[in-house]
């Protein structure tokens, strides 16, 4: 029992205390709340405060909903610090795993929309690189379609092209009288009067103003009665009398026209054969040489089919345009084949891209010159030549950079595998 009277007496008479107690009172020890009845020092040490402060990392803060803390709390038994930390870490890992599992689909969906797409140019180049074999179906279908169109043309007309008067024979009348002529009404009148003949009416313009009209018909120029009937119909169509100074007439006999047609076709075939010989001699390899020749042949066949579908009537100048097309088409094919076979730097596809840049620059500059000629040149023959070559260049882009590239890449890859074995 605590005796208050004795405590007061000890304070008033410090000499009655034991020596150890007096020394303790004079020391810098912290104050205490309780004193043992007998004043033993060993028992008083239990109540001394720790002079060193507790560090922050030694403090364990219990979470409100932590099942580990609740378990320890409910058990009434204090577990070792290491076991409590292990349980807390395990619980934290489980909570983190559940959180990641719940957020994973959202993160994937977010990444799918937030991930930047590759540039369009790179995607096109990758598709061109990986799908070159499938792309070869395009020129193949074009070639088959062209053969069908030309076959239908032959079955219906007996000729694989629409011939102009210069190839078939007939009369070409050029009116230079300074009057405004309605082209459509005049052509309709002539077709009603000469239903069995091929007719064409076109105007000549300078700076957008009509300066003349060219009328062509496959009538027999040596038959004066038929020519006079043709002239009378034209005069009634334009509503004016034509004097000799107002027009000029060019008569082409049917036999002469047929002879011109035969000669131009023969020249075209010979030019193609000579071109093929030069290609085979230069490369001295069958497959690459065949690819060049096949691309040139496809250019001619497909362009001819398109010209037939447009209803364009070919003159001797039109046949000459196909001769020019042979040279233009072989030009880019030779460039491609030479770089792929003769150059060794880089991969095959890198050399294809290099050839493509150079070849397309050549083709586009030529197209620009042809378009300018079509717009500003009014001469019928020159305009027809430029139109045919322009169509052929469009076709050549497909045949060179898809068909020829596909054949050469397949050949070189197969050859590389064979050499590797």
Note whether 286 and 411 are within 8 A (CB). Answer: no
For residue 278, the tally of other CB atoms under 10 A from its CB is: 14
Average pLDDT, the chain: 77
Note whether 403 and 302 are within 8 A (CB). Answer: no
What pLDDT, in 10s, does the model give residues 197-232?
788 888 877 777 778 888 888 887 777 888 888 888
Domain boundaries, the chain: 4-52, 67-113, 134-160+256-420, 170-252
The residues near 246 (Cβ < 8 Å, ≥ 6 apart) are 175, 176, 177
More confident residue, 392 or 166: 392
The residues near 43 (Cβ < 8 Å, ≥ 6 apart) are 36
So what's the architecture of 170-252 in CATH? 2-Layer Sandwich (3.30)
Q: Using a cut of 0.85, tell me whether the model's pTM lies above it.
A: no
pLDDT of 69 higher than 70: no
What pLDDT, in 10s, does the model give residues 109-164?
555 544 556 788 888 888 888 888 999 999 999 999 999 999 998 998 888 888 88
Per cent of the chain over pLDDT 70 is 72
Q: For domain 134-160+256-420, which CATH number applies: 1.20.1640.10, 1.10.540.10, 3.90.1010.10, 1.20.1740.10?
A: 1.20.1640.10
The closest alpha carbon to 287, from 134, 410, 397, belongs to 410
Task: Tell me if residue 173 falls in helix, strand or coil.
Answer: strand
Task: Tell me if residue 82 falls in helix, strand or coil.
Answer: helix
pLDDT at 184: 84
- Taking phi over 0 as left and psi of -120 to 50 as alpha, with beta for the rest, 343 belongs to beta
| Start-to-end CA span in the chain (Å) | 107
The closest alpha carbon to 387, from 367, 364, 401, belongs to 367
Average pLDDT, integer, range 95-108 = 59
Q: Which of 64-68, 132-136, 183-187, 256-260 bottoms out in mean pLDDT, i.e. has the lowest?
A: 64-68
The beta strand positions in 18-152, using DSSP E, are none
What pLDDT, in 10s, does the model give residues 308-333?
998 888 888 888 899 888 888 888 99
């Amino acid at each position: 029992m605590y005796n208050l009277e004795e405590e007061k007496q000890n304070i008033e008479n410090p000499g009655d205390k034991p020596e150890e107690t007096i020394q303790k009172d004079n020391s810098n020890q912290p104050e205490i709340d309780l004193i043992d009845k007998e004043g033993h020092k060993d028992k008083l040490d239990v109540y001394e405060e720790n002079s060193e402060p507790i560090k922050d990392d030694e403090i364990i803060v219990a979470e409100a909903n932590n099942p580990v803390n609740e378990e320890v709390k409910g058990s009434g038994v204090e577990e070792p610090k290491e076991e409590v930390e292990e349980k807390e870490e395990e619980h934290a890992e489980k909570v983190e795993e559940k959180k990641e599992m719940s957020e994973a689909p959202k993160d994937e969906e977010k990444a799918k929309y937030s991930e930047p797409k590759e540039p369009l140019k790179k995607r096109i180049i990758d598709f061109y690189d990986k799908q070159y074999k499938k792309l070869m179906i395009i020129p193949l279908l074009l070639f088959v379609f062209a053969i069908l169109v030309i076959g239908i043309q032959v079955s219906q007309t007996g000729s694989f092209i629409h011939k102009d008067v210069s190839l078939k024979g007939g009369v070409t009348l050029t009116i230079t009288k300074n009057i405004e002529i309605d082209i459509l009404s005049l052509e309709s009148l002539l077709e009603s009067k000469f239903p069995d003949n091929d007719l064409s009416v076109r105007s000549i313009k300078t700076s957008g103003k009509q300066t003349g009209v060219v009328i062509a018909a496959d009538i027999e120029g040596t038959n004066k009665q038929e020519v006079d009937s043709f002239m009378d119909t034209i005069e009634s169509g334009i509503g004016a009398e034509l004097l000799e100074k107002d027009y000029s007439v060019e008569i082409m006999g049917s036999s002469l026209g047929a002879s011109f047609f035969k000669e131009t076709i023969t020249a075209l075939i010979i030019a193609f054969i000579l071109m093929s010989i030069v290609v085979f001699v230069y490369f001295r390899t069958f497959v690459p040489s065949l690819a060049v020749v096949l691309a040139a042949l496809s250019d001619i066949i497909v362009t001819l089919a398109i010209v037939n579908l447009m209803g364009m009537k070919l003159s001797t100048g039109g046949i000459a345009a196909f001769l020019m097309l042979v040279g233009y088409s072989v030009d880019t094919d030779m460039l491609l084949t030479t770089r792929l076979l003769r150059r060794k730097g880089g991969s095959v596809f890198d050399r294809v891209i290099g050839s493509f840049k150079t070849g397309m620059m050549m083709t586009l500059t030529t197209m620009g010159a042809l378009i300018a000629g079509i717009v500003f040149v009014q001469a019928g023959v020159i305009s027809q030549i430029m139109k045919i070559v322009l169509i052929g260049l469009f076709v050549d882009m497909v045949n060179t950079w898809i068909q020829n590239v596909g054949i050469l890449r397949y050949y070189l890859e197969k050859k590389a595998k064979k050499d590797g074995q």
